[in-house]
Structure 1
Amino acid sequence: MQLVTITDIETAAGRIKGTAVHTPLLRQLWVPGEFWVKPESLQPIGAFKIRGAYNAIAALTDAERERGVVAYSSGNHAQAVAYAAREFGIPAVIVVPDVTPRLKVEATLRWGAEVREVPIAERESAALGLAEERGLTLIPPFDHPDIIAGQGTVGLEIAQDLPDVETVLVPISGGGFASGVGTAIKTKCPNAKVYGVEPELAADTAASLAAGKRVDWPIADRARTIADGLRAQPSELTFAHLQRVLDGVLTVTEDEIRDTVRVLAQQGRLVTEPSGATAPAAYLHHADELPGGRTVAIVSGGNIDPAMLAELLA
């Protein structure tokens, strides 16, 4: 199995330049220690997913792009593929679970994509069926080298902006984000530690790394977490990356995620969705389990339902 390299990530950085925002590192002076957040919530679609989606579509042949693309997603990858497809002027069909927050579904429609809503367990099979039926190219949410390379550009930016970073915290779902970020950090900042962060209710990666092989958690179990963007499981490709680049995995509770959404809004002035709050939650609630030093937590997205945000801020 061929893993993504720093060259792949640097190539992706060239492709996405001018489309994805080089997000800043924001020092959080209200919390003890040297702690920064990287707000990928500031991307055009409100999440880091634009990086991988745009890179993957940019890497297609002209003929593949002309036929159009299809994707399956819990919401943020859906918006990213829809946005990137609009930028290239090509058709996109997005399959989302029927439990996807309406905010994310409506945003995907606004970018001009066709949206199909299906039961959560059928999203991948439905997308594969559409790809075959219509001759569309599948843009997967994490299980592809071009997706991993695109997401890895976040790691390149961290290394550029804080070259003496000591700890990087990145959320894990399907593992493409952590795979790319970890590859970039381990190459550019070899002394830094990279930790994945998962909700306790979807901690399949922590279980898998402990077992030395992928451990399956039923979708009904993973769907319990409020972090709707972190309900997927690593593929063979992403798990191979995670085994190589992660120094550990921390898990956070639902209450810790909720508290972090609230605190980041009140103290950090950042609107964060539960999935996006998961990595910072590890620092705010489990700093004693981390190496310490200059720490960056990636806020992966900010697409939170307004009613949920109001509830968490109450």
Structure 2
Amino acid sequence: MVGLDDILAARDRIAGQVLETPVAPSAALGALVGAPVWLKLEHRQTTGAFKLRGATNAVMRMGRVAGVTTASTGNHGRALAHAARQAGARAVICMSSLVPGNKLEAIRDLGAEARVIGDSQDEAFHEARRLKRDEGFALIPPFDHPDVIAGQGTLGLELLEQVPDAATVAIPLSGGGLLAGVAAAMKARRPDIRIVGISMKRGAAMAASLRAGHPVEVQELPTLADSLGGGIGLRNRLTFDMVRALMDDLILLDEDAIAAGIRHLASEGHVVEGAAAVGAGAVLSGQLTSRGPLVLILSGGNIDPAAHAAILREGP
């Protein structure tokens, strides 16, 4: 497993390259929980999502290569494109046809090549692996990589300082890089802290894998939490075991609950994508409670403006 020393080293390595994002209280959600609720505003990160932490740490650790590549649902690709540009390296980001157009354009705006390959994250990964095998690229996956996990864990170090009395931390769960890193950092110093993973009901690969007891493939389906889509890899080396060991509870949300989370956070002034709204959605639907201060990680804000506006029009 990735440990505290790895995460502390990553924090030193990426200092000055990523933002230390603030936390903000949510009185409305706190009233529902009956305890203070803090929002970790990671959607204000330079590339609009937490992924910049892990991508930057991984790029800073790589040697001489032809370029960097990955398969991404959008946010990791954007982060890797930014980190590669900072390092003066070529980047080719492989994505499925399910990735929203605004995320494709954001990657291209950073000077990276965005390749749309097939209808799933797994198909996109085949092209990224080919680039590694045939053209000498460094493959930096979105979650199942020690440097990526350690970089994401720096968010947990910040939370230990910002909300030292946190009782529960709710973390959007997809491939598990964010949860693994944050939980490893926080539980190393606060073993009693409760870690709750939250995902969508439509195509949650980590949830299905945990039920099966080993990594499995699932059909990737359209969802408001599109950043949480994609498989965890049948040969998953790190995040499956770390999530299984470090996560205390798992909550799966339907699409209405995710939309409600997006709308509520907008009412508090936070424009976030569906993946970032799952914590608020879980509180609003009564599925997430805490006996003490609760932290919700707003993991990203890269939502298509038209889609966001449509969600706001639909709701109460």
Contact 2:203 2:219 in 1 (8 A): no
Superposed CA offset, 1:168-208 (max 9, x none): 00011111111111111111222210010010113343343
| 1:217 aligns to 2:215 (yes or no) | no
Alpha-carbon separation, structure 1, partners of 2:137 and 2:205: 31
| 1:49 aligns to 2:48 (yes or no) | no
Aligned twin of 2:304? 305
What is the Cα deviation at residue 212 of structure 1? 3.3
Alpha-carbon separation, structure 2, partners of 1:148 and 1:4: 7
Greater mean deviation of Cα atoms: 15-24 or 200-209: 200-209
Superposed CA offset, 1:250-288 (max 9, x none): 11110010111111011x20010011111232223235x
Structure 2: runs of 5 or more not aligned: none
Alpha-carbon separation, structure 1, partners of 2:281 and 2:291: 15
Query: What SS does the aligned partner of 2:231 have?
Result: coil
What is the Cα deviation at residue 213 of structure 1? 3.1
Alpha-carbon separation, structure 2, partners of 1:100 and 1:172: 18
Alpha-carbon separation, structure 1, partners of 2:208 and 2:134: 37
Q: Structure 2-normalised TM-score?
A: 0.92
| 1:184 aligns to 2:182 (yes or no) | no
Query: What SS does the aligned partner of 1:52 have?
Result: helix
What is the Cα deviation at residue 25 of structure 1? 1.1
Alpha-carbon separation, structure 2, partners of 1:243 and 1:85: 32
Aligned twin of 1:142? 143
Contact 1:95 1:115 in 2 (8 A): yes
Alpha-carbon separation, structure 2, partners of 1:204 and 1:107: 26
Aligned twin of 1:270? 270
Contact 1:156 1:188 in 2 (8 A): no
Aligned twin of 1:84? 83
Aligned twin of 1:5? 3
Query: What SS does the aligned partner of 1:296 have?
Result: strand
The structure 2 residue matched to 1:17, chosen from 15, 18, 21, is 15
Alpha-carbon separation, structure 2, partners of 1:10 and 1:183: 11
Alpha-carbon separation, structure 2, partners of 1:104 and 1:224: 15
Q: Using a 3 Å threshold, how does the CA distance of structure 1 residues 72 and 214 change in structure 2: closer, same or farther?
A: closer
Alpha-carbon separation, structure 2, partners of 1:208 and 1:139: 22
> How do 1:125-140 residues align onto structure 2 when only pairs under 5 Å count?
125-140=126-141
Query: What SS does the aligned partner of 2:94 have?
Result: strand
Alpha-carbon separation, structure 2, partners of 1:26 and 1:202: 31
Q: Using a 3 Å threshold, how does the CA distance of structure 1 residues 68 and 257 change in structure 2: closer, same or farther?
A: same
What is the Cα deviation at residue 313 of structure 1? 1.3
Alpha-carbon separation, structure 2, partners of 1:110 and 1:196: 32
Alpha-carbon separation, structure 1, partners of 2:173 and 2:275: 9
The total of aligned residue pairs comes to 304
Contact 1:163 1:189 in 2 (8 A): no
Contact 1:164 1:189 in 2 (8 A): no
The structure 2 residue matched to 1:229, chosen from 210, 227, 231, is 227
Percent identity (aligned):
40
Alpha-carbon separation, structure 2, partners of 1:180 and 1:99: 26
What is the Cα deviation at residue 215 of structure 1? 4.0
Alpha-carbon separation, structure 2, partners of 1:247 and 1:135: 40
| 1:246 aligns to 2:244 (yes or no) | no
Alpha-carbon separation, structure 2, partners of 1:214 and 1:127: 20
Alpha-carbon separation, structure 2, partners of 1:120 and 1:143: 21
Aligned twin of 1:151? 152
Alpha-carbon separation, structure 2, partners of 1:233 and 1:90: 27
Contact 1:206 1:250 in 2 (8 A): no
Contact 1:12 1:153 in 2 (8 A): yes
Superposed CA offset, 1:57-100 (max 9, x none): 00112x23xx2111110100110000000111111111111221
What is the Cα deviation at residue 16 of structure 1? 1.3
Superposed CA offset, 1:188-236 (max 9, x none): 22221001001011334334334433343223xxx23221111123334
| 1:106 aligns to 2:105 (yes or no) | yes
What is the Cα deviation at residue 312 of structure 1? 1.0
Contact 2:225 2:274 in 1 (8 A): yes
Aligned twin of 1:117? 116
Aligned twin of 2:165? 164
What is the Cα deviation at residue 29 of structure 1? 1.3
Alpha-carbon separation, structure 1, partners of 2:263 and 2:128: 35
| 1:282 aligns to 2:279 (yes or no) | no
Query: What SS does the aligned partner of 2:261 have?
Result: helix
